[in-house]
Structure 1
Amino acid sequence: MSKNTNVTWHESSLTKELRRKQNGHESTVLWFTGLSGSGKSTIANAVAKELYNRNIRSYVLDGDNIRHGLNKDLGFSEEDRTENIRRIGEVSKLFVDSGQFVLTAFISPFRADRKIVRDLLAEGEFIEVYIKCPIEECEVRDPKGLYDKARKGIIKDFTGIDSPYEEPEQPEIILESNRYSVEECVEQVISFLTAKRAI
């Protein structure tokens, strides 16, 4: 709930439907969730490139990048993680309203937080993409050296080590990034969007 009571919602002169019509495609959130090192950002950016090649407007919101700006005031406590996802949900909704696809690459470890974002959007506008990868494989990849620091106690509350990751129970898409190449994962996402008639 807003702390400021002196605000009024101002309706836009251009509706979501008009923007979608202009763009020639639907607008949706593709919410990439999974452990650190599972491939969320890599796959999300590869999907965005394929959408671009098909003349479909999209934008990637990456967890690390967002924490350099919009959410630089947040840490990694459970409360801050929840606020991080809440803000991203609101930004994602704006992209959907603008008629674009938004691809978010966030660990987003808690089911309740992901549900908050889903509930912000209309039916069918939130597509949960679970990048499923065993933690052992993520640790082998460890592109940022975070697992090693977490194991040594340098990083606290690290997802998968001393903070839980709650797997999605009914994601729209599951991508097993330890079994399939980035290109194959992209094809799975594009096939889903095509079957859904979103593109």
Structure 2
Amino acid sequence: MATNITWHAGLTHAERSELTGTKGLTIWLTGLSASGKSTIATALEQYLLSKHVPAYRLDGDNIRFGLNKDLGFSEAARNENIRRIAEVAKLFADSTTVAITSFISPYRADRDTARKLHESANLPFIEVYIDVPVEVAEQRDPKGLYKKARAGEIKEFTGISAPYEEPEHAELHIRTDKISVEEAVIVIADYLKEKSLVSI
């Protein structure tokens, strides 16, 4: 860890928010692979942008192939993956952008750390549990990952050979085997409006 650095204070979040007219926050989508996280995140990002709310989606496609390309899938690597994502999401939120993360993030402790990181900076953190029975996720299996996990080709696979710890205090719980992507987006958007986090 570097010791010869000094934090350089700039504009506060409140000052940025006053200048941009928007508030920043992080929407943290968590759930099994193939639960629908990325699909919902993409649709939510598009919806918010269409309403002129600055939003940006963070998921495996733009994190695992870039910032976190040096990380594997051991428990320690997963922990570091989520730690980095939480820090990046916090920066987006502080910039008055809505950060939308869609990661399995299987461990409660890691998600709680992400929440505390935001709370310490007075930034809203909305945990959304994208829930689906593992049997349904396996039937979807768009990337063939469950099939590979069952065949032993993937050693640490959440829901099969590695644990997923369900959220205990998520702000929203969405069952994607019961509602559509469009309905899920409206559920999240309505919550944001109800809490006065966005103006749409």
Alignment TM-score, normalising by the size of structure 1: 0.96
Q: Give the equivalent residue in structure 2 for 1:21.
A: 18
Q: Give the equivalent residue in structure 2 for 1:131.
A: 130
Out of 114-123 and 136-145, give the one that drifted further.
114-123
Give, in whole Å, the separation in 2 of the partners of 1:24 and 1:10.
24
TM-superposed deviation, 1:147? 0.1
TM-superposed deviation, 1:124? 5.8
Task: Write out per-residue CA displacement over residues 86-132 of structure 1, whole angstroms, 9 at most, x where no aligned residue.
Answer: 00011011101111100000000000000111010125611001001
TM-superposed deviation, 1:21? 2.1
Give, in whole Å, the separation in 1 of the partners of 2:142 and 2:86.
26
Give, in whole Å, the separation in 1 of the partners of 2:22 and 2:129.
23
Q: Is the 8 A contact 1:29 1:126 kept in 2?
A: yes
TM-superposed deviation, 1:65? 2.6
Q: Is the 8 A contact 1:132 1:175 kept in 2?
A: yes
Q: How does 1:36-47 map to 2 (within 5 A)?
A: 36-47=33-44
Give, in whole Å, the separation in 1 of the partners of 2:193 and 2:31.
23
Q: Determine which of 28, 45, 52 is the counterpart of 1:31.
A: 28
- In structure 2, list runs of 5 or more residues that go unmatched: none
Any idea what SS the aligned residue of 2:197 has? coil
Q: How does 1:94-173 map to 2 (within 5 A)?
A: 94-122=91-119, 123=122, 125-173=124-172
Q: Is the 8 A contact 1:132 1:176 kept in 2?
A: yes
Q: Is the 8 A contact 2:24 2:93 kept in 1?
A: yes
Q: Is the 8 A contact 1:17 1:99 kept in 2?
A: no
Out of 63-72 and 83-92, give the one that drifted further.
63-72
- How many matched pairs? 196
One-letter amino acid of the structure 2 residue matched with residue 10 of structure 1:
H
Task: Write out per-residue CA displacement over residues 58-97 of structure 1, whole angstroms, 9 at most, x where no aligned residue.
Answer: 1000123311000000000000000000000110111011
Q: Give the equivalent residue in structure 2 for 1:76.
A: 73
RMSD (Å) for aligned C-alpha atoms: 1.0
- In structure 1, list runs of 5 or more residues that go unmatched: none
Q: Give the equivalent residue in structure 2 for 1:8.
A: 6
Give, in whole Å, the separation in 1 of the partners of 2:76 and 2:159.
17
Q: Is the 8 A contact 2:106 2:158 kept in 1?
A: yes
TM-superposed deviation, 1:47? 0.7
Task: Write out per-residue CA displacement over residues 125-171 of structure 1, whole angstroms, 9 at most, x where no aligned residue.
Answer: 11001001000000000010000000000011100000000000010
Give, in whole Å, the separation in 2 of the partners of 1:172 and 1:26.
18
TM-superposed deviation, 1:53? 1.1
Q: Is the 8 A contact 2:34 2:141 kept in 1?
A: yes
Q: Is the 8 A contact 2:126 2:170 kept in 1?
A: yes
Identity rate, percent: 54
Is 1:91 matched up with 2:88? yes
Any idea what SS the aligned residue of 2:67 has? coil
TM-superposed deviation, 1:15? 1.8
